[in-house]
């Protein structure tokens, strides 16, 4: 029974994977991007209403400088409207980007991202999530999983399957560990790759991305095993970045030779 459900789920997944990410990975896309843009706009406006915005001109100029340099090398199809960059006055060590062209950076992140390169690694990573339509893919995957579980629940009830509740619990756990969380880790790894390329093209030293994630790991108390986490383990993330570093350094050195390196200062 479980094998039949798994086979049906995999078959359906292949049939709806009709889009590709910037890295060439197949994706599930069930929503129109205009819907996601509207959701991103609404979410960002709510965040601006709920969270204090930094009035420190120097910090705002610093963040804007880095974001602008990255957006200048972001492919034009992702710049449908001018991007809005806001610095939130919060101790959170975080940043985000939303569909529709919105970037939020928390002042707490500036204590961990020690220089312009390290902050560029984070902002580039967040822009990459939007470029790769990860919000659309995550929502689509969740909807697919919920639909598949609903069908399975209806099927086991209709045929009077014994231990129906236990089977559905097992299917739910399998969906979480086998689909939802791996997709999240895939998104994070993909955003790392795309973000590394963006920062190199913009003229930010790519090797600082490794230093950034080392700082992030040191600032985190999260000991969750990778297979139960939505993020790659820090050592795996750093290993992947190092594997991609030769190509990124080639791109950066070409920019450096042309004398076009950004100079953003706190």
DSSP-derived 3-state class of residue 74: coil
Burial of 194 (0-12, 13-18, 19+ CB in 10 A): buried
Where does 67-143 show beta strands of DSSP type E? 84-88, 95-98, 102-106
| C-alpha span between 138 and 156 (Å, rounded) | 27
Long-range contacts of 232-241 (CB under 8 A, 24+ apart): 232/185, 232/188, 232/189, 237/188, 237/189, 237/192, 237/213, 238/210, 238/213, 238/214, 240/189, 240/192, 240/193, 241/192, 241/196, 241/209, 241/210, 241/213
User: What does the DSSP 8-state code read for residue 176?
Assistant: I
Rg from Cα positions in the chain: 21
- 126 has catalytic annotation: yes
Strand partners, 225: none
In sequence order, what are the beta bridge partners of 95? 105
Pairing of the two strands 84-88 and 102-106: parallel
Q: Please tell me which residue in 77, 84, 91, 126 is annotated as part of the active site.
A: 126
Closest CA to 124 of 70, 60, 201, 59: 70
| SS3 of residue 78 by DSSP | helix
> Residues with catalytic annotation?
126
């Amino acid at each position: 029974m479980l094998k039949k459900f798994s086979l049906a789920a995999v078959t359906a997944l292949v049939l709806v994977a009709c889009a590709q990410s910037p890295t060439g990975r197949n994706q599930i896309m069930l929503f129109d991007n205009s819907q996601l843009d509207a959701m991103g706009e609404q979410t960002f406006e709510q965040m601006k209403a709920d969270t204090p915005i930094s009035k420190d001109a120097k910090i705002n100029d610093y963040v804007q400088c880095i974001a602008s340099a990255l957006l200048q090398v972001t492919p034009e199809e992702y710049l449908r409207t001018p991007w809005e960059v806001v610095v939130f006055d919060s101790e959170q060590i975080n940043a985000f980007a939303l569909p529709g062209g919105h970037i939020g950076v928390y002042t707490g992140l500036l204590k961990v991202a020690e220089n312009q390169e390290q902050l560029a690694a984070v902002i580039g990573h967040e822009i990459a999530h939007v470029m790769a339509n990860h919000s659309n893919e995550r929502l689509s995957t969740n909807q697919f999983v919920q639909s598949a579980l609903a069908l399975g629940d209806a099927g086991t009830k209709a045929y009077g399957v014994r231990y129906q509740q236990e089977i559905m619990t097992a299917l739910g756990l399998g969906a979480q560990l086998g689909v939802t969380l791996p997709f999240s880790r895939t998104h994070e790894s993909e955003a790392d790759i795309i973000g590394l390329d963006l920062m190199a093209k913009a003229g930010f030293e790519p090797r600082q991305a490794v230093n950034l994630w080392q700082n992030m790991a040191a600032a985190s108390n999260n000991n969750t095993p990778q297979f139960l986490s939505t993020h790659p383990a820090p050592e795996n993330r750093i290993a992947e970045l190092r594997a991609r570093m030769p190509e990124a350094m080639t791109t950066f050195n070409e920019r450096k030779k042309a004398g076009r390196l950004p100079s953003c200062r706190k």
